Amino acid sequence: MEVQFAPVVTIPRPRLQQALQYDMDLECHVEGYPPPTITWFKDEVQLMNNQHYRISKFRTSDEFTETTLRVVTIDQRHYGTFTCKAQNKLGTAAGQVELSEAIEPVCPPACGHHYLPAVLPLGELFMSLMSLKDSPIPDVNNTGLHQDPEINGSNKAPEIQES
């Protein structure tokens, strides 16, 4: 027997700060069955994926969905109140996140470091790995050369000249 219920929205961090020209992730956790439709708003205008906003949704079970709104390269007009709204046939719920200006960048996600937290939902892991696809391959051996001949042109270690 399936129990149906109206959405419940939880905002883990309702007040966030970020410096101009940096990214910030706004999180919203939604519970409801049947799975609700989730939309993000700023100033009552529905947001879509574009050069300023990236919306990701990851359903962790039939009843739970995690959604993140990434505000990309924040400028002055991006500060304010964002609303995460969830709706199914049994009702509607919403939560708000207030984004305000910080003097110093807040890390992560701002500082340009690629990180993978210890626990990361599969959908976010995929998105994080996809963001690394254009990153340089690290030299894990500190030789100055990569072990992959396709990258380095050779798999030989550098010769050390004695003085």
Q: In the predicted model, what is the mean pLDDT of the chain?
A: 79
Is 105 a residue whose pLDDT tops 70?
Answer: yes
| Domain edges within the chain | 5-131
Write the pLDDT tens digit of every residue in 113-141: 444 443 445 555 445 445 444 444 443 33
31: pLDDT strictly greater than 80: yes
In Å, how far are 13, 82, 137, 143, 152 from 140, measured between CA atoms?
36, 41, 9, 8, 13
> Could you tell me the two tokens for 67?
């959604």
pLDDT score for 1: 74
Quote the CA–CA distance of 54 and 63 in Å, as a whole number. Answer: 23
Nearest to 3 by CA among 63, 48, 51: 63
Q: Does domain 5-131 have CATH number 2.60.40.10?
A: yes
Q: What is the pLDDT of residues 65-75, one digit of tens each?
A: 999 999 999 99
Estimate to the nearest angstrom the gap between the alpha carbon of 57 and the chain centroid.
10
pLDDT band at 77 (very low <50, low <70, confident <90, very high): very high
CB contact at 8 A, 120 and 128? yes
Tell if the pTM clears 0.85, that is, is over it.
Answer: no
Question: Which one has a higher pLDDT value, 159 or 77?
Answer: 77
Average pLDDT value for residue range 143-155: 41
